[in-house]
Amino acid sequence: MSKQFTLNVAVRTQTGRSASRRLRKANRVPAILYGKHTKPETLSIEGAEFSRFLKTVGDRAVLVELQRSDKPDKALSFLQEVQRDPITDHYLHVDLQEVKENEKFEIRVPVHVEGESYGVKNQSGVLETVTHSLRVRVLPRNLPEAITVDVTELKVGETIKVSGLKPVPGVEFLDPKGQPVISCVEPVAEIVQEVAAAPAAVEGAVEGAVAAPAEGAAAAAPAAGDAKAAAAPAAGAKPGAPAAPGAKPGAPGAPAPAGTKPAAGPAAGAKPAAGPAKK
C-alpha cells in the first residue's frame, strides 16, 4: 500500500478568474475536490506546502488526506490533475478526486523499471518504455506506489506486455492485455552509420586541407608564365612615328597618333586672348 500524506486546505467562498488571481497573489493554489457521491467542493492550498508535498511524492501514486479547518473529518483523495504556468512554472490549479476506504476506484499508476536487461548488457540493445503509466482499479488500502517491471531476462526483439506483468495483490489492470509496456530494440541504423562515418569525414577534411596549398602553387606557376609572355611583345614594340612637319596638332576629326595625348582645351572660366593693341 502507498503511503498517505496530509494537506491543510481552506474552503473557497468566491470563484472565478478574479478570485483565483487574488488567491495566487496571496501564494495560495486554487483547488477543487470532486466526489463520487457529493458535489464538487472549492478549496485552496498554501503554495509552499503544496510544493513540498509534490517534491516528496515525485511520480508515485499516493493518497492524500485533506484536513479542512471547517470540518473535523478528513477527506481521502488523490491528485487527478495539476496545472502549471508554462512560463513562470507556478501552480495554477489542482484537481483532487475523493475516494472511500471501502470502494474501488480507478487511477493511473507509474511504471518503474527494475534490473538490467540482457539485451542491453550483452546484445547492444536499447531499452524503450512504451507505456509510462497503467490504469488500474483498486481499493485505497491496496494502491501501489508504482508498477515495478523486472527486465533482467528481456532480450533484443522482445516486449513485455500488460498480459506479461507480474500480478499485484488487489490490483486489476484495465489496459488491453496486448498493450506493450517495455521493449528491447536494436540500435537505430542511422546512428551507427553516423558514428562509423565520422572518422572518414575527418580524414577527408585533413586530406583536402593538405592538397589545397599544393594545387594553388601549381596553378600560380602557369599564370606567372602567361604574364611574362604577354609582357614580352610590349617591351619590344617600336615607339610611335613623329608627326609630319606642318601638321596641326589636335585637328578636329583626325585621330591622335599612337602614344600621344589629346590637346587640352581652354580651362573652364578662362578669358579669351586679347586682340592686337589699337594704335
> Rounded CA gap, 209 and 9, in Å?
70
Average pLDDT over residues 35-49: 90
Predicted confidence at residue 41, as pLDDT, reads 92
Classify the C-alpha dihedral 151-153-159-164 as positive or negative.
Answer: negative
Amino acid occupying residue 223: A
CATH code: domain 106-185 is 2.170.120.20
> Rounded CA gap, 124 and 111, in Å?
23
In terms of pLDDT, which residue wins out, 261 or 118? 118
Among 101, 95, 49, smallest CA distance to 76 is for 101
91-95, 151-155, 252-256 — which is least confidently predicted? Answer: 252-256
- Spell out the CATH class of 4-99: mainly beta
Instruction: Render pLDDT for 175-220 as a digit per residue (tens, 0 to 9).
Output: 999 999 999 999 876 455 665 666 655 565 555 555 555 455 444 4
Instruction: Render pLDDT for 107-146 as a digit per residue (tens, 0 to 9).
Output: 999 999 999 999 999 999 999 999 999 999 999 999 999 9
Query: Which bin fits 101, alpha (ψ -120 to 50), beta or left (φ > 0)?
Result: alpha
Question: How is the chain split into domains, by residue range?
Answer: 4-99, 106-185
Q: Is the pLDDT of residue 32 over 90?
A: yes
Predicted confidence at residue 208, as pLDDT, reads 56
Average pLDDT over residues 56-74: 88
How would residue 14 be classed by pLDDT, with cut points 50, 70 and 90?
confident
